[in-house]
Structure 1
Amino acid sequence: MILIKDAIQQVKDNCKPLLKEVIKPIEKSGNYNLYKDIYATINMPPFRQSAMDGYAVHLHKDLNYTLVGEIKAGDNGNPILKPGDAVRIFTGSPVPDTANAIVIQENVSVKENILQTEGNIVSNQNIRPLGEQVTKGNLALPKGTKLTPAAIGYLTGLGITDVSVLKKPSIALVTTGNELIDAGQPLTYGKLYESNSKMLQNALYNLKFYDVTLHKIEDDFNKTYSILNTLINEKDVVIISGGISVGDYDFVGKALDALEVDTLFYKVKQKPGKPLFFGKKDQATIFALPGNPAAALTCFYIYVYTALQKLMNRDSIELPRIKAKSNSEFNKKGDRPQFLKAHYSNQSVTILEGQSSAMLQTFALSNALVFMPSTTDKININDQVEVIVLPI
């Protein structure tokens, strides 16, 4: 049985970035990372641009200017202004080459065609220079940049319609168990509605991983072997829920052995989620999670999340851990470190009732996990505890 810190390190060491290129339309590239540097093909802004509503002037020694025209956003005229001339101008409009300052409308008075300004005017004030954000041919965004809404807006403003991004992993979610049926079917005695696939699929969608397929395997060795063999050859990540223990009808471990999957660890000294498997074969990263729903989701956030971030070549690959004051008491049984379902708010955290690995009701009310190390037997009210903030 492996320690938590060693298990996490095994995941980090054995999940190598995919570094595969895929072209995405800019509007569908959110949360991807750039595969390569992007260079500007235009200046941004592509012309001298007014930063304010006001008047573009050709400076001279007097405070009065002659109003000779108007320039709206989208106009393509470039009137020649003599010293002492001014044009009405609006935010985003092109600034004439012969204008060297913009006076905001609040600082002028206009009578007929004479513009009277207040105070000193500084050269180039309120003018966005050509290429202020980026100049043509220069680096717009470096490779590896995560495409946030702001990044997408910026690149679109440069006229970019498609981007080269790092491919996200293809993922198979596999559930096992003859007792499991789909929601919506009649629930007969001895059957349970299968929930782990939808739970884990939604966790992946929440992290913007959408290349996800669902598969159900009966408790049969040959079927387990066949389906896992296909998925391991086709997918980047295979996540199995259930069937990894050593019962007479748990065939996942036996099938993985028969498939010659390299076992990097099996069983972690933790609660919940002790029967966790992590392995590799060829390009595939393989997790076999416990069948109990709360244990499966806990293992997903601690280990699978880290693997996915590493495959995407991201810098922050573990969920954030912070210190917070406990609003609750909790007594730990046994010597295994424990992940406790909790709710974090305003620098304090409440450990919730119902910590069973089979219970999702408490998890549904949680936004964090409190980590209780093996050296701690009891948490008291006002103790400082380690909190793992969940991405929900």
Structure 2
Amino acid sequence: MMISVETALECIHKHATRLQASEVIATNDALGRTLSQDIMAPLSLPPFKQSIMDGYALCVGQSQTYKVIGEIKTGDTATQVLQPGEALRVFTGAQLPDTANAVVMQEHVTANGNTIDLKDSPKEGQHIRNIGEQIAEGTRSLTKGETLNPSAVGVLKSFGLKTISVYKQPKVSVIVTGNELVSVGTPLQPGQIYESNSQVMVSALQQKGIATEAVITVKDNLKDTEDAIKQALDTSDIVLISGGISVGDYDFVGTALHNLGVHQVFHKVLQKPGKPLYFGTTDSKYVFALPGNPAATLTCLYVYVYALIDSITGNQTVGLTRIQFPISEDFENPFGRALFLKAKLKGAEVEILNQQNSAMLLSFARADALVYIPSDCKSVKKGHLVTTVLMPSGV
């Protein structure tokens, strides 16, 4: 019996057990990883009083004319003491002495030898970044369970941290089934196609910061299928299988999983593409059998496999980001199933792309989002808000 998308996601979350193991890695390798402990700021950012502009640091006095007593370049230590009516030539990012209480932009002064005339009266504190303005020493800067984006890695480097503690990533193996599949570089014979699903899955896992343990291609027979799955289960936390999960005479994945003692949590979801999706567990390991059509494979990986990975690695945010966007045209859903539609954000709208067939990967290459249409939604009018799943970009 088919289950709903929402029920399938609930089942995955219910069966997901967090990986407790953590490891210490180089901060340079931290992009996309999940923190296993809070990061307390070991120093304030900025760590010193800092000029935001190129210009002049002042100790504000009564006159609009200031005597320039020196210069502080970026990287210099500020040792000067300013008296009211005195100034220092400074540059963006330079340290300021405690006695400086304003910075004026160089464009707003007239220089006359060792004096400057201000065009406007300065306000105390202007163009100064104070110690700890971004974060104060000893306060929590990043939280356990956060996934590190480029900005977060930048914060860690700003603290001078060479290493950090993160949750270990699950080990994932990929199995691709099909007699018709041949490797790139092999001349195609009639009835054959080049195998691409493994690279689609490996690349999508890389976007999640996961290196694949193994990629195994098997022909459509029961023994080879069982052997491949057993090998993957022995070495991996998650096994992804592409193809062979439908009900054809040469679809052996379901039988092989049963024979190996994998507990079926669900098989078949009321959705398009990806109806034959299978999810099972055994000995704290997880198996997804994904449809063989490439676009269906990728859709299920983004929606369901990502959700499992987030759950077991302690990520605060489970699954891809979902936002509401107005749809650019009327849309009809005649299928009675939930739809994941390849789409592209255009300005303040989301546009459904052509070529939605589950075998068509090219339109996926042009998409940056999936529009989710629930199974009970028969039509959507132009301008109405639709759930838009933002796909990951880059690695």
Distance 1:126 1:288, change over 3 A: same
Specify the alignment match of 1:86 in structure 2: 87
Partner of 2:322: 320
Contact kept? 1:59, 1:100, Cα under 8 Å: yes
Equivalence for 2:279: 278
Give a deviation string over 1:46-99, Cα, whole Å, max 9, x none. Answer: 222222222223344444333222111112250233444332222222212333
Deviation of 1:172 after TM superposition, in Å, equals 0.9
Would the alpha carbon gap of residues 125 and 270 (structure 1) be closer, same or farther in structure 2, given more than 3 Å must change?
closer
Name the aligned partner's letter for residue 158 of structure 1: F
CA deviation after TM superposition for structure 1 residue 263, in Å: 1.0
Kept in 2, the 8 Å contact 1:326–1:385? The answer is no
Matches within 5 A, 1:146-157: 146-157=147-158
Q: 1:351 to 1:279 in 2, by over 3 A?
A: same
Q: Which amino acid aligns with 1:134?
A: I
Asked if 1 retains the 8 angstrom alpha-carbon contact of 2:221 and 2:252, the reply is: yes
Q: Distance in 2 between matches of 1:252 and 1:27?
A: 40
Q: Which residue of 2 aligns with 1:299?
A: 300
> Is the CA contact 1:201–1:212 (under 8 Å) kept in the aligned structure 2?
no
Task: Provide the C-alpha distance between the structure 2 equivalents of 1:212 and 1:220, rounded to a whole number of angstroms.
Answer: 23
Measure the CA separation in 2 of the matches of 1:338 and 1:100.
Answer: 60
Amino acid at match of 2:230: N
1:214 maps to what in 2?
Answer: 215
Larger gyration radius, structure 1 or structure 2: 1
Contact 1:196 1:293 in 2 (8 A): yes
- Counterpart of 2:26? 25
The offset of 1:351, in angstroms, is 5.5
Specify the alignment match of 2:167 in structure 1.
Answer: 166
Partner amino acid, structure 2, of 1:87: L
CA distance in 2, matches of 1:255, 1:23: 38
| SS of residue in 2 equivalent to 1:88 | strand
In the TM superposition, what are the counterparts of 1:93-172 in structure 2 within 5 Å? 93-172=94-173
Q: Where does the alignment leave 5 or more consecutive residues of structure 1 unmatched?
A: none
276-285 or 190-199, larger mean C-alpha shift: 190-199
TM score, norm. by length of structure 2: 0.86
Alignment partner of 2:272: what SS?
coil
| Residue 3 (structure 1) aligned with residue 8 (structure 2) | no
Q: CA RMSD in A?
A: 3.0
Q: Which amino acid aligns with 1:317?
A: G
- Paired position in structure 1 for 2:194: 193
Distance verdict in 2 for CA 1:186–1:137, change over 3 Å: same
Q: Using a 3 Å threshold, how does the CA distance of structure 1 residues 71 and 227 change in structure 2: closer, same or farther? A: same
TM-score (norm 1): 0.86
Residue 184 (str. 1) matches residue 185 (str. 2): yes
- Counterpart Cα distance in 2 of 1:122 and 1:350: 52
How far apart, in 1, do the equivalents of 2:377 and 2:60 lie? 74
Q: Distance in 2 between matches of 1:124 and 1:336?
A: 60
User: What is residue 69 of structure 2 aligned with on the other side?
Assistant: 68
Structure 2: where are the runs of 5+ without partners?
none
Quote how far apart the aligned CAs of 1:10 are: 0.8
- Is the 8 Å Cα contact of residues 34 and 147 (structure 1) preserved in structure 2? yes
Could you tell me whether the CA contact under 8 Å between 2:67 and 2:85 is conserved in 1?
yes
| Partners of 1:370 and 1:166 in 2: CA distance | 31
The residue number in structure 2 matching 1:389 is 389
Deviations 1:202-234 (A, max 9, x none): 222334433453111233433332332232232
In structure 2, the CA distance between the partners of 1:137 and 1:191, relative to structure 1 (3 Å rule), is same
Partners of 2:373 and 2:387 within 8 A in 1: no
Q: 1:285 to 1:329 in 2, by over 3 A?
A: same
Q: 1:249 to 1:49 in 2, by over 3 A?
A: same
- Equivalent residues of 1:169, 1:211 under 8 A apart: no
1:218-255 CA distance string (max 9 Å, x none): 33433332332232232121100112234443332222
1:349 maps to a residue whose letter is E
In 2, the alpha carbon distance for the partners of 1:108 and 1:384 equals 53
Question: Structure 1's 340 and 332: CA in aligned 2 closer, same or farther, altered over 3 A?
Answer: farther
- How far apart, in 2, do the equivalents of 1:64 and 1:104 lie? 15
Instruction: Read off the aligned partner of 1:232 and give its amino acid letter.
Output: L
- d(CA) in 1 for partners of 2:103, 2:372: 58
Q: Distance in 2 between matches of 1:136 and 1:83?
A: 31
Aligned residue pairs, count: 389
- Sequence identity, in percent? 39
Residues 106 and 258 from structure 1, CA distance in 2 versus in 1: closer, same or farther, beyond 3 angstroms? same
Deviation at 1:122, TM superposition (A): 3.5
Task: Report the residue type matching 1:332 in the other structure.
Answer: P
